Structure 1
């Protein structure tokens, strides 16, 4: 069961520099994968071009790795609390603690991408044979014999290579302990003792060297069979570590035998490494060893090969056989291949060997995953094989610094570099932010990584935290808005939400928050009079924004000019106007004075129609609203508001009744008030939530509020969250161009679904299948009651601040009490009932 060859090539390590027993020196880097997912073909082409620059400048013998491992639950929680003072945010601390069991139950995975490049040779390989014994050695030898000048030389060579590659992938040197982690992972791949991923920055930096465990590799798992089958009969490796309780890992090494004869279309048909995710209880890693030749060398070799083919054809000129046809076919392909390099001067020829390593806790689990992968690859017309007798050799290829073995050449393929670039191995389907509360899990990647939404951290990274949501009734929009609002509250921020629902779902939700304030615009307890709310230097201007549309006045009309004069700083000081009621009284006084403008009579008549109807603006006994509470809900359910069509159609807008004009003015005033309160440097994050997006995007004042939150929110720790049924109508202007974070929930109407995906950034001509996924496979109602199963609720599409597009599932709060608060809404009779858009 033992194995007598040296599979761990490391002799010494200095940081990310590895010195091998054979004398090779390598430099290993973390690679930041490029966003891929559901982006447009043009964006994916940029990713391919980055890979093209990568492969054309890698030295021969470079190793590319994609390592799958379990995420560390503590790392996930650490990202949740980044930038949050838990001593001041006890509610959020409880949320993080409650998230521990949920994250552990989900068991999220991640993929770590590495690049190992040869940077020279060293005499360190000349150490004793005893130290090179793999099974007898548990430590590496410190490279004290390597001078600082030599280390600088290797670093310089590595930096020169990275400079040629470019910095699209942001290569970062690995710590010395990464080599140990990688080795431990390979020995326990897919087993219960497989180490968690070192995803937290600095998780391995405390180590200065690697200590490699010993293990026994049993090719063919002969130890499990009483018949002692020969290795060649079973393409599996059983790996047992004596110091790990003999919990074995069963691993199988797959490699492509052939690729489609007609080539692989990019994008969509060439990304053959993308099918490795979502295989259940196994771990799947991949490694690719690459070498390349410049175009000049390829052209010379093609001339020699073509000459040889010509000689063979001459020899068989009089022969009637299939061989003649085969030679002609080869000559034609060689000609096309040669023309490709003649036309594309920046090309190179890439020889690459790919190994897909599947590991599980049992042999059955591993072989089931192998068979699943074979079925998946049939759709790509790629044939994969698990070569018997070569499993250990292929296993060793994934170890950085491994010397070449025969199997590497036996299963190598040769393609032009632009075709290789279409494989785009260094890509990710990750969405969301690097830190922040966990709002859901990633469904597109197949690894169920937590989706972080760092809404309060975005400002520190110079990004906008504003977001917009769309979806049909009952799809999850309101639930999601309440989820983000409660997270903002729990992290020490404040929010203001406008509640249009007749049953008061936001009021019911806010009642579970200790310091919440409820404002009913129809039965007010506070005043929204802009002349009392805002600084006198800007109060008149703010009042004009609301009063002119309310009174149906143009700023250039006679009456409009008259009221503008009164609300100028000079006019307000002259007439001692401190409130809208003062304005009305002044207008009435001027109307009655002889010789004054006739426009004052018109103004008095217009203002007189609303003074008694709008106490929230004209009652002097109400105190001005102060948005200093952690949670404020403004109920606007009794206001008459225009539809989106009435706001966007000129002749309909001109005929709006007074009640709808009044409702729009008050709705806008709430937004303006929130803007003045939240877009100020008060050290507290503020979120404005509007479930009727068109009132913030289709009017001049509302569009200004949306634009200010989207543009300047990152400077003042503020954001706006909007929801709509139809983004094509409601999310225009700033809401379309400046709000980066976008969420699309179920939308079964074809037109609205198409509008939603186009707003998200998806090109439906390139990916028409996404339309049916959104309409039919996103939280689909099933059964006679047309209810969404619990496990399918909350599914959505998402576009994050980096313009990455993917699919996810919203989880909701981990705290049961918070979940219950946003998961129910009062009925008309006053009793709480479950929402139709409840999420888990």
Structure 2
């Protein structure tokens, strides 16, 4: 066992430029992976095209890396508080503090993507630096390098990046990233593995780095009292001199063969996705690529074909299998040659893939190796852990490493369009870059927190509105209350319409200081639009509510009379200050000779005056939406079904009670629009659990559209819930609400509707229908209850149209978690995290 410092090639660093001991200069960048997950095949083909452009323009010797690392708990909390004044939001500060232990217990991880490209040679001058470095423990300070020389390398890097394109948003790494990456490789999977630098400023921008020494013991011979040839044990024991008590056991795997018949895209070629969801180990991957142009390939093919022809001529009189083999090779070579002749812009890629597995014990690492081999066999890919080449392959994941024989021994050659089907730079991440943590990502295999920056969306010119669907008891109401309480705790306000008979929102509101609860059947405030809104718009708002309620058309006789009275001139002339005034004026004007329209209007108003005190009682104070939390109970209102709202003949036959319920429902939405879509500096959220009343009526659709379109301008959003998105989430709710959540749907039709509304092509991904119906928070056991560790599972589409699968966690504070349980009379239980996590 020997100490290996020569595997670290860095001689000097300046920013993201690395000067190696061999004289090579590389530039390294963070890569922003492209959203993949559950998107449609057409979207995935777009991702493939971007990778095709990438590989065709990468210089030979480029290195692509996918590094798995632990998320820093403090980074997660910092993202939670971004843009929030904790001095003003004590409740949210308590939520963040409570989240610390939960996030730390879950131990979320992430994958960091890096691209290292050669940008030139440093010439003979680096040889001296190399000799000096090999006798030292640190790199040479790159500040001594000439600025003109650095600018040449920077310009070369920019030229390469401009050819690749901007889709991956390459960002130069800080100099200290090289030290972080080296320490990660030495500690892969062990307790000393450093946390991921996932936030800007997590690594300082140093110009020098100190690289630790380590012993790379191939075969882990030190663990045995007898001498074992390294070739018999494909494992490396990495021991750092200063941390000998926490070694890392690592194995390097590489594909030995790919399917002979090729790999279908999408769905069959993304072989790096198999690496996720590995427990108790850290799995990194690296791909070293070299390319040849189509012209070079065609010339080489001509030479190879000529040689095959000569061999076949020499054996034309021979009867053997060799003749058939030569003919098969000639046929394959012809097909390969034809591919490059008919496909413009194609190139040939020679690539070596290394999959590095590490943990704190030899047994755990080797078990994971066997697990991965079994996974890859199902894809007809054979993995091998080449004995005697483990250290060489280990070095390939270090940017700037010299080419070694093992890289060529395990290289594969494919056309660039086939290589692009591997789509290595993709992610299953969902959610926003910052904001409160609402759940965990279940698709990536790393349990990354899902951030939902509902109050920060406006700052990024995105809509914060969201919609939820799912069957009864699937978690819709829980989720709505979770978002509402987070908005409240972060200094915003919300208005929720409570249709439940048990008053679940009222029960929830009681846990919030100074919350206002309004019962429309026993009102203590007035929803009279003439008293509620500014005089400039009051008449128009009253007409929007009164005419449908009275079954009047704006151009009918009584409708025209109401329009005339509620115009600005009519309101001023007749001193109409309330709907009761409107009724009195209509009664007075009906006695005028020859004018029957006012009589018709007065008669229609007379049927509801005494029934609806919330509209006609002038002694009630008008509703003012200045409370942090307002809950409007509408459980005693008769409301039409979605079918009655969308079927013309059923709508015209609606009884008065249902028309009245719809009018009041709409008035609440209008009141929220007038209060929240103003620049008052406070975020406002309107929550509606009966989506069809906001999307199927003219007034409701206008409210939904206004919140969806203009909410980002005025710090406001709408949150809607429904059982059937195919009927309820149409128009603005379908086109303008970006954030969508789908909870369990056991009905097949509703499950398909929900996934298609989410953006999933169920014809391409039929299995997802079954996942939603049977494997999303599934009820089990005699009582058909959902185990607590499975509650809150859902599908999500975020503001960037990324689709994935997650689990809602609920508030970290126990009192908040208890307050948002659905049934006020039941014992409060918070949703918990996955089996290894604490809620």
**TM-score category, normalised to shorter length:** over 0.9
Structure 2 match to 1:127: 128
Query: Could you tell me how far 1:23 is from its partner in structure 2?
Result: 0.5
Mapped pair 1:798 → 2:796: yes
> Matched residues in 1 for 2:5 and 2:507: separation?
69
> Matched residues in 2 for 1:641 and 1:484: separation?
26
Secondary structure of the equivalent of 1:764? coil
Structure 1 match to 2:640: 642
Structure 2 match to 1:19: 19
> Matched residues in 2 for 1:825 and 1:617: separation?
31
Q: Is the 8 A contact 2:789 2:832 kept in 1?
A: no
> Matched residues in 2 for 1:142 and 1:104: separation?
37
Q: Is the 8 A contact 2:4 2:216 kept in 1?
A: no
Mapped pair 1:753 → 2:751: yes
Equivalent runs, 1:138-153 vs 2, <5 Å: 138-153=137-152
> Matched residues in 2 for 1:530 and 1:559: separation?
19
Structure 1 match to 2:836: none
Structure 2 match to 1:7: 7
Query: Could you tell me how far 1:634 is from its partner in structure 2?
Result: 0.0
CA deviation string 1:231-284 (max 9, x = no partner): 100000000111124310000000000000000000000000011111111100
Secondary structure of the equivalent of 1:111? strand
Query: Could you tell me how far 1:833 is from its partner in structure 2?
Result: 4.1
Structure 2 match to 1:709: 707
Equivalent runs, 1:162-561 vs 2, <5 Å: 162-561=161-560
Secondary structure of the equivalent of 1:623? coil
Q: Decide whether aligned partners of structure 1 residues 837 and 59 sit closer, same or farther in structure 2, where only a CA change above 3 A counts.
A: closer
Q: Decide whether aligned partners of structure 1 residues 824 and 501 sit closer, same or farther in structure 2, where only a CA change above 3 A counts.
A: closer
CA deviation string 1:678-730 (max 9, x = no partner): 00000000000000000000000000000000000000000000000000010
> Matched residues in 2 for 1:116 and 1:725: separation?
49
> Matched residues in 1 for 2:404 and 2:85: separation?
54
Structure 1 match to 2:658: 660
CA deviation string 1:312-339 (max 9, x = no partner): 1111111111111111111111111001
Q: Is the 8 A contact 1:444 1:806 kept in 2?
A: yes
Secondary structure of the equivalent of 2:495? strand
Q: Is the 8 A contact 2:814 2:830 kept in 1?
A: no
Structure 2 match to 1:104: 104
Query: Could you tell me how far 1:780 is from its partner in structure 2?
Result: 0.5
Provide TM-score, normalisation by structure 1. 0.98
CA deviation string 1:459-495 (max 9, x = no partner): 0000000000000000000000000000000000000
**How many corresponding residue pairs?**
833
| Counterpart selection for 2:805 from 804, 807, 812 | 807
> Matched residues in 2 for 1:427 and 1:186: separation?
22
Mapped pair 1:613 → 2:611: yes
Q: Is the 8 A contact 2:283 2:356 kept in 1?
A: yes
Structure 2 match to 1:115: 115
> Matched residues in 2 for 1:200 and 1:114: separation?
15
CA deviation string 1:176-233 (max 9, x = no partner): 0000000000000000000000001111135332111111100010000112201100
Q: Decide whether aligned partners of structure 1 residues 240 and 393 sit closer, same or farther in structure 2, where only a CA change above 3 A counts.
A: same
> Matched residues in 1 for 2:653 and 2:827: separation?
39
Q: Decide whether aligned partners of structure 1 residues 55 and 569 sit closer, same or farther in structure 2, where only a CA change above 3 A counts.
A: same
> Matched residues in 2 for 1:809 and 1:832: separation?
22
Query: Could you tell me how far 1:144 is from its partner in structure 2?
Result: 3.7
Q: Is the 8 A contact 1:6 1:132 kept in 2?
A: no
Q: Is the 8 A contact 1:13 1:19 kept in 2?
A: yes
Of residues 352-361 and 817-826 in structure 1, the stretch that sits farther from structure 2 once superposed is: 817-826
Q: Decide whether aligned partners of structure 1 residues 545 and 185 sit closer, same or farther in structure 2, where only a CA change above 3 A counts.
A: same
Query: Could you tell me how far 1:125 is from its partner in structure 2?
Result: 2.3
> Matched residues in 2 for 1:823 and 1:391: separation?
54
Provide TM-score, normalisation by structure 2. 0.98
> Matched residues in 1 for 2:408 and 2:50: separation?
26
> Matched residues in 1 for 2:743 and 2:468: separation?
8
| Counterpart selection for 2:681 from 671, 683, 699 | 683
Query: Could you tell me how far 1:145 is from its partner in structure 2?
Result: 3.8
Q: Is the 8 A contact 2:4 2:213 kept in 1?
A: no
Q: Decide whether aligned partners of structure 1 residues 832 and 786 sit closer, same or farther in structure 2, where only a CA change above 3 A counts.
A: closer
The two structures, once aligned, show a CA RMSD in angstroms of 1.2
> Matched residues in 2 for 1:298 and 1:816: separation?
65
| Counterpart selection for 2:817 from 810, 819, 835 | 819
| Counterpart selection for 2:783 from 785, 803, 814 | 785
> Matched residues in 2 for 1:129 and 1:696: separation?
70
Secondary structure of the equivalent of 2:358? strand
> Matched residues in 1 for 2:232 and 2:366: separation?
14
Q: Is the 8 A contact 2:789 2:831 kept in 1?
A: no
Q: Is the 8 A contact 1:119 1:158 kept in 2?
A: yes
Query: Could you tell me how far 1:4 is from its partner in structure 2?
Result: 5.1
Query: Could you tell me how far 1:838 is from its partner in structure 2?
Result: 8.9
> Matched residues in 2 for 1:344 and 1:6: separation?
43
> Matched residues in 2 for 1:564 and 1:806: separation?
50
Q: Decide whether aligned partners of structure 1 residues 666 and 442 sit closer, same or farther in structure 2, where only a CA change above 3 A counts.
A: same
Query: Could you tell me how far 1:128 is from its partner in structure 2?
Result: 5.5
Q: Decide whether aligned partners of structure 1 residues 13 and 184 sit closer, same or farther in structure 2, where only a CA change above 3 A counts.
A: same
Q: Is the 8 A contact 2:725 2:753 kept in 1?
A: yes
Q: Is the 8 A contact 1:795 1:810 kept in 2?
A: yes
Secondary structure of the equivalent of 2:305? helix
> Matched residues in 2 for 1:209 and 1:532: separation?
70
> Matched residues in 2 for 1:189 and 1:833: separation?
44
CA deviation string 1:423-461 (max 9, x = no partner): 000000000000000000000110100000000000000
Q: Is the 8 A contact 1:479 1:838 kept in 2?
A: no
Query: Could you tell me how far 1:731 is from its partner in structure 2?
Result: 0.3
Mapped pair 1:632 → 2:630: yes
> Matched residues in 2 for 1:366 and 1:411: separation?
22
> Matched residues in 1 for 2:359 and 2:629: separation?
49
Q: Is the 8 A contact 1:509 1:825 kept in 2?
A: no
Secondary structure of the equivalent of 1:389? coil
Q: Is the 8 A contact 2:142 2:208 kept in 1?
A: no
Mapped pair 1:31 → 2:31: yes
> Matched residues in 2 for 1:138 and 1:193: separation?
20
Query: Could you tell me how far 1:594 is from its partner in structure 2?
Result: 3.0
Query: Could you tell me how far 1:823 is from its partner in structure 2?
Result: 1.9
Query: Could you tell me how far 1:5 is from its partner in structure 2?
Result: 6.3
The unaligned stretches of length 5 or more in structure 2 are 834-838
> Matched residues in 1 for 2:114 and 2:416: separation?
20
Query: Could you tell me how far 1:77 is from its partner in structure 2?
Result: 0.2
Structure 2 match to 1:696: 694
Q: Decide whether aligned partners of structure 1 residues 276 and 88 sit closer, same or farther in structure 2, where only a CA change above 3 A counts.
A: same
> Matched residues in 1 for 2:244 and 2:4: separation?
22
Secondary structure of the equivalent of 1:255? strand
Of residues 373-382 and 178-187 in structure 1, the stretch that sits farther from structure 2 once superposed is: 373-382
Structure 2 match to 1:743: 741
CA deviation string 1:726-753 (max 9, x = no partner): 0001000000000000000000000000
Secondary structure of the equivalent of 2:500? coil
Secondary structure of the equivalent of 1:574? helix
Q: Is the 8 A contact 1:825 1:835 kept in 2?
A: no
CA deviation string 1:473-528 (max 9, x = no partner): 00000000000000000000000000000010000000000110000000000000
CA deviation string 1:572-592 (max 9, x = no partner): 111111111111110000012
> Matched residues in 2 for 1:738 and 1:129: separation?
59
Q: Decide whether aligned partners of structure 1 residues 180 and 420 sit closer, same or farther in structure 2, where only a CA change above 3 A counts.
A: same
